Amino acid sequence: MSMRTLVELLIQHGTLLVFLVTFAARVGLPVPAAPLLVVAGGLAANGELSAPGLLGATLLANLLGDAVWFQAGRAYGHRVLKLLCRISLSPDSCVRQSESMIARWGGSSLLAAKFLPGISVVAAPMAGALGMPWLRFLSFDLAAGALWSGVFLGLGLLLSEQIQQTLDLLANAGIAAAAGLLLIVAVLVLRRWWRRRRFLRDVASPRISVSEAFALIEQGLEPIFVDVRGEAGRAADPRHIPGALSLEQLRIRREQQAALPSDIELVLYCNCPNEVSAAIAANTLASQGYTRARALTGGLEGWARAGRPLAGTAAAAELSAE
């Protein structure tokens, strides 16, 4: 298929293509939705596509894609974020950043999240996991979708002349141009994959399995469990390992007990993808001399699946029934 044919297909089915690519981006696939919308905006300026049609298509795609993950977040909590991080190739730290944003700014955080790589993908399921009401989510997500669509569509309208010249050049360049575009897309996907792998390598830290951690309790070694989730995460899922401290409580305890041994067993846990928050905290404590700080493999969910004791289950059941 020649590049000219691809350009003609874009003109003939541009609105549908924009809808499909935008929807794919919203559900987490690493596709270039924003650049495509800019190009479509340029074509709309020349009368080859309908600007209102493009705006409606992107709004609908944004709303549908985000609603899928929002409901998944409400139904399955943080567990669904592990799958989403793998699909989108986004670094797992985006989950923690998104949780902080939503806890601090509420629904308005969805507006900013649209323009933040990685976070834009996990914001909707995180809002669901944190219990945001449907009506509040829909109103803010619609506003965020309109802002995002308007920015990139408007950019295309402003740059319509340059975009048209580029499309004409590509159409005349033939197969080589199509191959070049495919190569660029492949490079972008590989770059995101590499960034994710590098991030996971950077936050690598010693792990401890659920069975190993429970064995320490049975042996009377009294490990200190540390819940590294933020306040919003603990509110959304009140379950916790009995006796676990928060990071703030651990800091206070360390200040009050200067003799707290540096080699004490610290078991850190969260319910985030790849235990990334626990791993980061473990690395920080290790740099402060706590050589036996380890992240709990599987986190809180792994502990629960193993049938180990949990506190706060009654409160969690009440939240899930709401």
Q: Over its length of 322 residues, how does the chain's per-residue pLDDT go in tens digits?
A: 444 555 667 778 888 999 999 999 888 887 878 888 888 888 888 888 899 999 999 999 999 999 998 998 888 876 776 666 665 555 555 666 676 777 677 778 888 888 876 677 778 888 888 788 999 999 999 999 999 999 999 988 888 887 766 666 555 555 555 566 567 667 766 776 676 666 666 666 789 999 999 999 988 888 999 998 877 677 777 889 999 998 888 877 777 666 567 778 899 998 877 788 888 888 888 888 888 889 999 889 899 999 999 988 755 555 555 5
Radius of gyration of the chain measured on its C-alpha atoms:
24
Q: In the sheet where 245-246 sits, what is the strand order?
A: 207-208, 293-296, 266-269, 224-227, 245-246
Contact of 249 with 257, CB cutoff 8 Å: no
Question: Hey, what amino acid is at 229?
Answer: R
Structure confidence at residue 276 (pLDDT)? 80
CA atoms within 13 A on the CB side of 253: 14
Rounded-to-5 percentages of helix, strand, coil across the chain: 70, 5, 25
Structure confidence at residue 242 (pLDDT)? 92
Question: Whole-angstrom Cα distance, residue 5 to residue 148?
Answer: 29
Domain chopping of the chain, boundaries = 3-200, 207-321
Question: Hey, what amino acid is at 111?
Answer: L
Fold that domain 207-321 belongs to in CATH = Oxidized Rhodanese; domain 1 (3.40.250)
Structure tokens at 186: 């492949």
Q: N- to C-terminal Cα distance for the chain?
A: 53
What global pTM score does this model have?
A: 0.62
Question: Whole-angstrom Cα distance, residue 133 to residue 119?
Answer: 20
**Cβ count near 220 (within 10 Å):** 6
Distances (CA, A) of 281 to 266, 285, 299: 11, 6, 13
Question: Whole-angstrom Cα distance, residue 119 to residue 105?
Answer: 14
